[in-house]
Amino acid sequence: MTAAMLLQVSTAVPTSAWGLLIGSTAVTKGVVGLLGVLSVFSWAVMLGKWIEFGSVRRRSAKFLAKFEHVDRFDQALSVAARETPNPYTRVLRRASDFLGGDARPGTARAAAPDMTASQVEALRLILDSETNAERDQLARFIPTLATIGSASPLIGLLGTVLGVIDAFVGIATKGSGNIGAVAPGVAEALIATAAALSVAIPAVFGYNIFANRLNRFDSELEGFGSYVIALIVRDRAA
């Protein structure tokens, strides 16, 4: 009789995290479900950003390899016109639009007057604006990874606390306080914490990786804009 009772107890208690989740309360299932949605979204963002950063890097590297061999602004515009649009070519276009018709490819340099200090500063502000726009475009959804990484542990903690409360309420109702009665409820509650960490850790790693790549891209594009200004000023002064 004792062996039969022990067999019933052993089969009644789940022996895996999945089994605990299947038999968990609606609160725990709801929290884990919400964390699952956040996990899918964060992985989708990371995959999309990985593809987007790679595409921008390839197109930009192809253009910059040819841009290194130009020594005049009109030559740079000619190279940009033949390349797939990318952040660097768009910065060049903004500079060309600011300068007007005398900056079009093939225009003689001698026809363009020297730039004043105020014009140089205005051009710098315009290129900075374009750089910020390109950075904001590439930064879409990256802050969301930080939000998921910081909010997921709190959501998991909420689910754990509510699960522990429910477990102790059940113990008080049944009048049993031994470890065999407490452990399943606590283990079930801790599933929410484990799920939260599995969501938060990849999201934080992804945010740091893409934030670093974004900062490096921003610095490189800003340096490119400064070089474009120097190229234009040198052409005008020649």
The closest of 82, 29, 237 to 229, measured between CA atoms, is: 237
* pLDDT at residue 195 is higher than 70: yes
Rounded CA separation 124/213 (Å): 23
182 pLDDT tier (thresholds 50, 70, 90): low
When pLDDT is averaged across residues 110-129 and rounded to a whole number, the result is: 82
Q: Taking the CB of residue 201, how many other CB atoms lie within 10 A of it?
A: 13
102 compared with 54, residue with greater pLDDT: 54
CA atoms within 13 A on the CB side of 155: 25
Q: What is the pLDDT of residue 111?
A: 45
When pLDDT is averaged across residues 192-203 and rounded to a whole number, the result is: 92
When pLDDT is averaged across residues 63-79 and rounded to a whole number, the result is: 91
Distance from chain centroid for Cα 2: 57
Q: What is the pLDDT of residue 8?
A: 43
Q: What is the pLDDT of residue 112?
A: 56
Q: What is the pLDDT of residue 11?
A: 44
122 pLDDT tier (thresholds 50, 70, 90): very high
Decide if 203 contacts 152 (C-beta within 8 A).
yes
61 pLDDT tier (thresholds 50, 70, 90): very high
* pLDDT at residue 143 is higher than 70: yes
Enumerate the domain spans of the chain.
28-103+113-237
Virtual CA dihedral for 80, 84, 85, 87, nearest 10 degrees?
A: -80
Rounded CA separation 142/14 (Å): 39
204 pLDDT tier (thresholds 50, 70, 90): very high
When pLDDT is averaged across residues 73-86 and rounded to a whole number, the result is: 92
Residue with tokens 């000023």: 233
* pLDDT at residue 205 is higher than 50: yes
* pLDDT at residue 217 is higher than 90: yes
**224 is written with which tokens?**
């490119």
When pLDDT is averaged across residues 135-148 and rounded to a whole number, the result is: 95
> Residue 238: in which H helix or E strand, if any?
none
